[in-house]
Structure 1
């Protein structure tokens, strides 16, 4: 350090070193800010530790995925990417693909844009196929599709233990914005049963709506995707969702329990904007623990409060998979059920709102019953004590700024989030300081913290840079004062 200071005192060369080193120190400011925020095209936080893979144009030489692991890839416009996975002949398998398009007002999209995912066996037989699109509203946001391989007694195809092909195809209208979409892939397996289950679905169940919990609610900011989705228990929860944003939440629902969700979009703060109607303005979508779409609702918005209620769903039961309606069959296992809440960008364009107050009224009805007699641990498809604690504490979440995500915030939410009044029994636990990701055994879908090791390291570097730059600037001031004083003395 003394040698450095000596060089700083040596004329022009010293002044040059001051400029360079001080500049490096000051660079700590934007470096730290850059580490804390991401661009609009990277608003989805991928799973921590996700492996990067590159899909191939055909099944030949496609990268191999391992069950239980999460992978990150990408997909170009008008492209198809192939991947492979080895499946045994005993467990049901669910391949989820989350497609993450670029966001922002400059991205043009159609409601039919999305991805098609297909699963095939080694003989080219199609096991399953699903298409995920923006569905309502011509604007981009993350979408998820899931294909399944179910092992059935007397099944004729896709039953063998072998290598299966996963094909992900981009689907878009001719005038939609091109570019590359991010992909997140995960293969989850559901173990078989000790004894065979019923081949018939439940004959009856309560389809009546329940009275939503009352109260003003507790603040809990949603996450960017499945991996940092904010954990919720039954109660009333509020968040501010910017136009064009999708906030994710997750609720643990055990065997025998029913989930009810009512969502509200608050009134516009700009009274002069009332009267202009935005269709498909507020969209709420539910996904099951395999990330498969369950049901969705949307509504129009004209500046006055608007609300949606998801249709009543059957209690979680293994036999639901025998039901004919997709949204009922999707309630087939216990675990984290995910909510995606999206506000149409046109809400800002037509009504002038920068962010909208969203209130979620969540009810988990009924007591948990005995789980199916699986041959091994159920993995993602169960609710653990740690999951319940995570829901009570509000683990996960992100700190939002426009379409950007500040990842430097705690997993439990931003420091400026209020705890809300929580003035009723139905307003939740009132706990807002999240405890970070759930450590539930066998619940690998617990959200990861929005603060990655890389961002933490950049924060340390940024802070160190700020400190060093400040110290050097102070030294430069002292050096200049001394030099000027010496000149004055000589004169």
Structure 2
């Protein structure tokens, strides 16, 4: 059976187009799986993410395990709160990240102040950390992410001991905002302590002038739908195709001592004179390996090419986390740095040919990798491995953003080798991958995601065979009377 499934995955599609179509129909009929194919801007949750319900208080809070990813939801209404609990030791730094996925589409109303407040509290009710994420300028719905942490420090007064902690997510909703539930993706990661004492001062001084970004025509690499399938990039110039309202995700490995610089350029349009000016047309946000926000920039569009670039960031250093500035402090971890780029749905008409807009992302990772801090154990995801570098060279991840006219990213065809969609069909387990948020439809936009439903051809075939058997058994029993 395993050999048969592998042969099916490897593309013996020509003999049974009807069977492949039936499998596809069955896949899209599954709850949640259709969203990736029909939504103009889905967010695909992490593969294997467990579902956990948020509780109204700590006593009944569902448990999160460190190192695992969960999906949940946050009910509509200003002040709505969801509690989750996690067991932490008394040594490692813990990072609890929350991604909020609102419903999307032209009929969804949102205010700049709408968003989430995330808190981490200990068993005695003390607040360890609180962070807030909102839509800010350009009040339109898009995925929001933020992270709270518990750091164990010498002389620390609160949140230092092992025990039960609570991740609390509270929603902010202005009057008139759409009253619909939001999807949530939650993850708690831990970073081991150091063998010696932690630094008592910030990182060394560094040049504050911008790093020269690469130039050239660039290579096409389509971004992913979220953190789960973000497209891996190296230093270089990368082109992508967006529909208004879409958010594409990318990731770049940045090691200790290295400095990340990047910008995103939104291409101009031939019919610029008919468009007018769109404030906040392009919005991009950078997150560190713990998914904590590092920097955010936006750009206004008036028909001509426009770009946004982050202010110069320091080289990655453990001591940065002691810096006063939030941007600098967030560069205190090595690993994958994540970039979200979103186009304002107000650009709704599409690009020069009605199929979307070209966006160019320029990336520069400057400097040689330095020795990592002396951790007491392997830091896990908070490091850059040879496998990470190879994944970035290959461009792993990404989604197939195909346009209605068949001219979207990657020319509307299958993503490059290593894409999220291709990887799903190659998994030997056959287990369903992450379905897209079931409430993130962006309506009939000019571009849709193809092939990120999260169930491989082999799994769909097994599902079809199972349904066929049930139907056959029922018919047999009816025939026998």
User: What is the TM-score with the length of structure 1 in the denominator?
Assistant: 0.78
Partner-residue secondary structure (3-state), 1:60:
helix
Size of the aligned set, in residue pairs, is 414
Cα drift, residue 26 of structure 1: 7.9
Indicate the RMSD between aligned Cα atoms, in angstroms. Answer: 3.0
Q: Distance in 1 between matches of 2:157 and 2:308?
A: 42
Q: Does 1:433 find its partner at 2:417?
A: yes
Cα drift, residue 231 of structure 1: 0.2
Q: Does 1:416 find its partner at 2:413?
A: yes
> Structure 2: which 5+ runs fail to align?
1-17, 425-432, 436-450, 467-481
State whether residues 195 and 375 of structure 2, in contact with CA within 8 Å, keep that contact through their aligned partners in structure 1. yes
Partner-residue secondary structure (3-state), 1:304:
coil
- Counterpart for residue 57 of structure 2: 58
Q: Distance in 2 between matches of 1:461 and 1:240?
A: 35
State whether residues 287 and 338 of structure 1, in contact with CA within 8 Å, keep that contact through their aligned partners in structure 2. yes
Q: Distance in 2 between matches of 1:95 and 1:460?
A: 38
Q: 1:9-88 counterparts in 2 under 5 A?
A: 30-31=25-26, 37-40=36-39, 43-78=42-77, 79-88=80-89
- Counterpart for residue 323 of structure 1: 323
Q: Do the aligned partners of residues 29 and 383 (structure 1) sit closer, same or farther apart at CA in structure 2, a change above 3 Å counting?
A: closer
Partner-residue secondary structure (3-state), 1:185:
strand
Cα drift, residue 31 of structure 1: 3.5
Q: Distance in 1 between matches of 2:87 and 2:361?
A: 40
Q: Do the aligned partners of residues 27 and 382 (structure 1) sit closer, same or farther apart at CA in structure 2, a change above 3 Å counting?
A: closer
Q: Which has the larger radius of gyration?
A: 1
- Counterpart for residue 120 of structure 1: 121
Q: 1:40-439 counterparts in 2 under 5 A?
A: 40=39, 43-78=42-77, 79-274=80-275, 276-348=276-348, 354-401=355-402, 416=413, 432-434=416-418
Partner-residue secondary structure (3-state), 1:390:
helix
Deviations, residues 242-300 of structure 1 (Å, cap 9, x unaligned): 100000000000000000002100012434525x0000111111000000000010010
Deviations, residues 216-252 of structure 1 (Å, cap 9, x unaligned): 0000000010010000000000000110000000000
- Counterpart for residue 454 of structure 1: 455
Q: Distance in 1 between matches of 2:196 and 2:358?
A: 49
Mean CA deviation greater in 208-217 or 383-392: 208-217
Q: Distance in 2 between matches of 1:435 and 1:396?
A: 4
Mean CA deviation greater in 113-122 or 343-352: 343-352
Deviations, residues 93-125 of structure 1 (Å, cap 9, x unaligned): 000000000111110011111111111111111
State whether residues 400 and 410 of structure 2, in contact with CA within 8 Å, keep that contact through their aligned partners in structure 1. yes
Q: Do the aligned partners of residues 165 and 448 (structure 1) sit closer, same or farther apart at CA in structure 2, a change above 3 Å counting?
A: closer
State whether residues 251 and 391 of structure 1, in contact with CA within 8 Å, keep that contact through their aligned partners in structure 2. yes
- Counterpart for residue 477 of structure 1: none
Partner-residue secondary structure (3-state), 1:192:
coil
Deviations, residues 433-460 of structure 1 (Å, cap 9, x unaligned): 337679xxxxxxxx99975663534654
Cα drift, residue 64 of structure 1: 1.1
Mean CA deviation greater in 195-204 or 163-172: 195-204
Partner-residue secondary structure (3-state), 1:319:
helix
Q: Do the aligned partners of residues 354 and 273 (structure 1) sit closer, same or farther apart at CA in structure 2, a change above 3 Å counting?
A: farther
Q: Do the aligned partners of residues 180 and 207 (structure 1) sit closer, same or farther apart at CA in structure 2, a change above 3 Å counting?
A: same
State whether residues 41 and 245 of structure 2, in contact with CA within 8 Å, keep that contact through their aligned partners in structure 1. no
Q: Distance in 2 between matches of 1:292 and 1:191?
A: 18
Q: Do the aligned partners of residues 103 and 126 (structure 1) sit closer, same or farther apart at CA in structure 2, a change above 3 Å counting?
A: same
Deviations, residues 48-67 of structure 1 (Å, cap 9, x unaligned): 00010101101112111110
Deviations, residues 116-163 of structure 1 (Å, cap 9, x unaligned): 111111111110001111122111010101110010100000001010
Cα drift, residue 38 of structure 1: 3.5
- Counterpart for residue 442 of structure 2: none
State whether residues 40 and 104 of structure 1, in contact with CA within 8 Å, keep that contact through their aligned partners in structure 2. no
State whether residues 258 and 367 of structure 2, in contact with CA within 8 Å, keep that contact through their aligned partners in structure 1. yes
Pick 1 or 2: higher relative contact order, CA cutoff 8 A, min separation 6.
Answer: 2
Q: Distance in 1 between matches of 2:306 and 2:48?
A: 39
Q: Do the aligned partners of residues 325 and 461 (structure 1) sit closer, same or farther apart at CA in structure 2, a change above 3 Å counting?
A: same
Cα drift, residue 24 of structure 1: 11
Cα drift, residue 347 of structure 1: 1.1
Q: Do the aligned partners of residues 266 and 59 (structure 1) sit closer, same or farther apart at CA in structure 2, a change above 3 Å counting?
A: same
State whether residues 273 and 350 of structure 1, in contact with CA within 8 Å, keep that contact through their aligned partners in structure 2. no
Q: Do the aligned partners of residues 102 and 266 (structure 1) sit closer, same or farther apart at CA in structure 2, a change above 3 Å counting?
A: same
User: What is the TM-score with the length of structure 2 in the denominator?
Assistant: 0.80
State whether residues 41 and 246 of structure 2, in contact with CA within 8 Å, keep that contact through their aligned partners in structure 1. no
Mean CA deviation greater in 199-208 or 217-226: 199-208
